[in-house]
A = this chain, B = another copy of it.
Amino acid sequence: MSHIIKAGLVGVTGYTGMELSRLMTHHSSMELVRVTSRAEAGKKLADIYPFLHRLPLGELVITQPDPADLAAECDVVFLAVPHKTAMGIAAALLAEGVKVVDLSADFRINDKTTYEEWYDVEHTEPQLLSEAVYGLPELYLDQIMGARLIANPGCYPTSSILGLAPALSGGFIATDDIVIDAKSGASGAGRGAKVGTLFCEVADNFRAYSLPAHRHAPEIEQELSKLGGANMTISFNTHLLPIDRGILSTIYTKLNTNMDLDAVHAAYTEFYSDKPLVRVLPKGQLPETRFVRGTVFCDIGVVVDPRTNRLIILSAIDNLCRGASGQALMNANLICGLDIDEGLPMAPMMP
């Protein structure tokens, strides 16, 4: 590299901002030069994140979010703020000529009306919807490399879409009988102070939530429909795990051919053969959230149940890393001309 890419991060205090700070600590071709927070502006990053003491990144002073300043200093800006807040900032930054990777949901849904129904808010920048590229590199690599604005996928959608893509592309499952039973760690609920995510409410417990209509359903259906060539409606159901990080999706489908496990496994392996950040596990092995903890890997296991002729797909990611900040960095790497995995940890924290 002849020069270092300069990056900004709007919204450093949440878990996705924290995770991006972690990842940027080891990136040798991209440097975080601006981090913003309305509440914490003026402090050094190590003041709010003691784990950054004695590291260069810890000395970075948090600023107020200012599009002009960000544009002046950065080549690319990550938005780690809530949906509805992100859309305006994205528009302002693009107007200033900076590339944007938006981790919120604001540009993921192509259809303005669908977005507004599910998120219950008016979309004020609809002119950007068609330009935004859905940042799932296994599906949209070329578009991402040429994009100005990346809609970074949701955590559940990343896990679900990567799990189903080979089967839908291959056309060997029914498109009208898919159930996704998804389980997520608590960091997916964010870092806001709420009774429901207190330690004593989450630990030693397991529960479903948002049934039967989680906001990630339309995003998943949009992408699956493109892959399946049909307007798909799925049953998508979410649960809260007493772990920090990790999503495991158990996906129930019906085979529409008489493929056996060998054939299904071969199709999956082939589909991802040139995409090294998705790992189709050997037959008989099943993914575990710990195997991807802290990495951008998506691990996939396939099971065929001959008693019911079902294909069961298990898909595991780290919701904060592949499901948010890690994938955002993959996308930033790509739009800045770097290798997709530059700076990203490949070995999970085990145990």
The answer, yes or no, to whether A211 is at the interface (CB within 8 Å) is: yes
Closest to A320 in B: B351
Closest to A245 in B: B351
The answer, yes or no, to whether A100 is at the interface (CB within 8 Å) is: no
Per-residue CB proximity of A235-257 to B under 8 Å, as 1/0? 10101011111101010100000
A193 x B191 contact (CB < 8 A): no
- Size class of the contact patch on chain A: 35 or more
Shortest beta-carbon distance from A304 to chain B in Å:
7
Within 8 A of B (CB), among A281-332: 281-282, 285-294, 297, 299, 301, 303-305, 307-308, 310, 312, 314
B22 x A350 contact (CB < 8 A): yes
The answer, yes or no, to whether A209 is at the interface (CB within 8 Å) is: yes
Kindly identify which residue among B177, B242, B248, B282 contacts A207, using a CB–CB cutoff of 8 Å. B248
Assuming the contacts A198-B193, A235-B305, asked whether A289 and B211 have C-beta atoms less than 8 A apart, the reply is no
Chain B residues whose CB sits within 8 angstroms of the CB of A183 once the complex forms: 183, 206, 239
The answer, yes or no, to whether A201 is at the interface (CB within 8 Å) is: yes
CA–CA, A205 to B290, complex, Å?
5
Kindly identify which residue among B206, B244, B305, B351 contacts A212, using a CB–CB cutoff of 8 Å. B305
Closest to A275 in B: B54
CA–CA, A276 to B289, complex, Å?
33
The answer, yes or no, to whether A169 is at the interface (CB within 8 Å) is: no
Shortest beta-carbon distance from A114 to chain B in Å:
13
The answer, yes or no, to whether A349 is at the interface (CB within 8 Å) is: yes
Within 8 A of B (CB), among A171-201: 177, 179, 181, 183, 186-187, 191-195, 197-201
CA–CA, A312 to B301, complex, Å?
25
CA–CA, A99 to B187, complex, Å?
43
Interface stretch (choices A45-53, A71-79, A117-125): A45-53
CA–CA, A99 to B93, complex, Å?
55
B212 x A303 contact (CB < 8 A): yes
The answer, yes or no, to whether A346 is at the interface (CB within 8 Å) is: yes
B235 x A310 contact (CB < 8 A): yes
CA–CA, A50 to B280, complex, Å?
11
Shortest beta-carbon distance from A211 to chain B in Å:
5
Shortest beta-carbon distance from A127 to chain B in Å:
30
A293 x B349 contact (CB < 8 A): yes
CA–CA, A193 to B198, complex, Å?
7
| Interchain residue pairs A-B with the least CB separation, the first 4 | A212-B305, A25-B347, A199-B202, A207-B288
What are 6 inter-chain pairs, A to B, with CB distance below 8 A? A197-B200, A198-B198, A203-B242, A206-B243, A208-B314, A212-B310
